[in-house]
Amino acid sequence: MKQERYEICLSGSGGQGIITAAIVLAEAAGIYGKKHVCQTQSYGPEARGGTSKAEVVIASKAIDYPKATKLDLLLAMNQASCDTYYRNLKPEGLLVVDSSLVHQIPTRRSVAIAFTLIARKEIGKALVANMVALGAVAQLTHVISLG
């Protein structure tokens, strides 16, 4: 991570483990990356299927505002989240989508990986697609070390 503040939004449907992935990312950046971190979350009233969003702000200095304002990276695990949040990306921001579930990608500055398909094939459960996606986010951003 070369910049002082890095803003990430993880988004998808309730039940996809978006908030869990954000918590894991924030803890890894804070504990192992020795960064300042703030994690916030919001979700619909539905237990499963509603909108779920979590933001992680990672900084080399103290964080003065805990919410993401212009995203460096957006992870969209479904089409609705992609359509809703991609406008919050910085011009140079990166959109990462689950190509198993997102078929209309609104920007060329994107990476499409079949997280759900990979989770089903390699682990046998789509439920772990959030952790597959988190590995890709870590690799693409270098905000935490994979070692």
pLDDT in tens, 75-92: 999 999 999 999 999 999
> For the packed helices 115-122 and 129-141, what is the interaxial angle rounded to 10 degrees?
120
Joined tokens for residue 88: 């919050």
Joined tokens for residue 126: 């789509």
Q: Which CATH class is domain 5-141?
A: alpha beta
pLDDT of residue 92: 96
Average pLDDT taken over every residue of the chain: 93
Q: Which amino acid is at 123?
A: I
pLDDT in tens, 31-75: 888 999 999 999 876 656 678 999 999 999 999 999 999 999 999
Strand partners, 98: 113
pLDDT of residue 48: 66
Straight-line distance from the first to the last Cα atom of the chain, in angstroms, rounded to the nearest whole number: 15
Work out whether the CA dihedral 58, 135, 93, 54 comes out positive or negative. Answer: negative
